[in-house]
Chains A and B, each alone.
Chain A
């Protein structure tokens, strides 16, 4: 992202979303248009992938790509809107039924790994789920350190968002280093749960595996599935997406950790890709998928 545009986007435009969700939607429309125009090659690659994956004609595939840029920007706007409210208004969230905990996991008192996508509004989904579960849910995320390639203006916004999310959840983010992963294991074994994206590109992790995405083999990080194997935690796929009426949180089937982490990631993503098929323009990762070589 060009630093001049990032500065305008995060320093000047995004704060307008504090004033209401309609303003947030206006922000998302502007950002989607600029982002689409500013990187034609990314647009071409993503649209071609969408067309192949969903058997769409080029015009519809481009609309889906535009929609995924809009979704990512709307997530920022919604976050800013809620960050400047005194409390998270849970009446705006609608939950599908949460899959039951199997007897074995309940008896062992092991937590759940809620695996999500870069889809819709994942952090708000985390906070709403946290409130719904009555706490005991931590989010795992890549640290906002110098190794994270985001522009400084975006990093400033992201740091404020992390502080806010930690305050609302009453729990710090869990990073992805050795100490954090050992802590994540402790959390699961103590009966607490984790919320984490599982569509992380394989190139940012040492443990990665190939999973078909609508027929195309793609590399994804699979470390969190190793934690499921080590602890016996079940995996519940979850997505949250915004609409003018509120935010809907949907779940896939609860998955047993048996059968190896590669297969588990495949099953979890298989569940989540059902949501992508229904709402492909909510998935931000279309431009960033890494085909397996």
Chain B
């Protein structure tokens, strides 16, 4: 499973979007009912999925699922430890 697929799954679970329906261009704020804690929830789920710490300032800049996947890949490259598989 690619990073993008895993990010899609994480975002889909947090936003309660049916499996397989998320596009790479999907904007987080357009997915279901988001509120001020949605970003923090997604960040926490990404932390757990990939074994990294996603900083808030990077999350705020990531507007779409594709942006999030790119962010995770960048964090994985710079992380000291290998990603969880």
Contacts and interface: CB of A to CB of B under 8 A. Distances in A.
A212 B41 CA distance: 27
Contacts of A183: 56-57
Contacts of B60: 178-179, 182
Contacts, number: 53
Contact of A186 (B35, B36, B38, B56): B56
Contacts of B41: 226, 230
A179 B39 CA distance: 8
B53 interface: yes
A227 B40 contact: yes
5 contacts: A178-B37, A181-B36, A185-B56, A205-B35, A226-B37
Contacts of A205: 35
Given A178-B34, A179-B60, A182-B60, 6 more contacts: A182-B59, A185-B43, A205-B35, A223-B36, A226-B41, A231-B44
A273 interface: no
A178 B44 contact: no
Interface residues of B, number: 17
Contacts of B34: 178
Nearest to B61: A179
A85 interface: no
Contacts of A182: 39-40, 43, 56-57, 59-60
A185 B55 CA distance: 9
A223 B56 contact: no
Contacts of B40: 181-182, 184-185, 226-227, 230
B80 interface: no
Interface in A196-224: 205-207, 223
Interface in B1-51: 33-41, 43-44
Nearest to B33: A206
Nearest to A261: B37
Interface of A: 176-186, 189, 205-207, 223, 226-227, 230-231
B54 to A, nearest CB: 9
Q: Please indicate which of the listed interface residues B38, B44, B59 has the most CB atoms of chain A within 10 Å of its own CB.
A: B44
Main secondary structure on chain B at its contact with chain A?
Answer: helix
Contacts of A185: 40, 43-44, 56
B55 A207 contact: no
Given A185-B43, A206-B33, A230-B44, A178 B38 contact: yes
A181 B35 CA distance: 10
A182 B57 CA distance: 8
Contacts of B37: 178, 181, 207, 223, 226-227, 230
A227 B43 CA distance: 12
Contacts of A176: 36
Contacts of B53: 189
A230 B33 CA distance: 18
- The 8 lowest CB-CB distance pairs between A and B, nearest first, are A182-B56, A206-B35, A185-B40, A230-B44, A179-B60, A186-B56, A182-B39, A181-B36
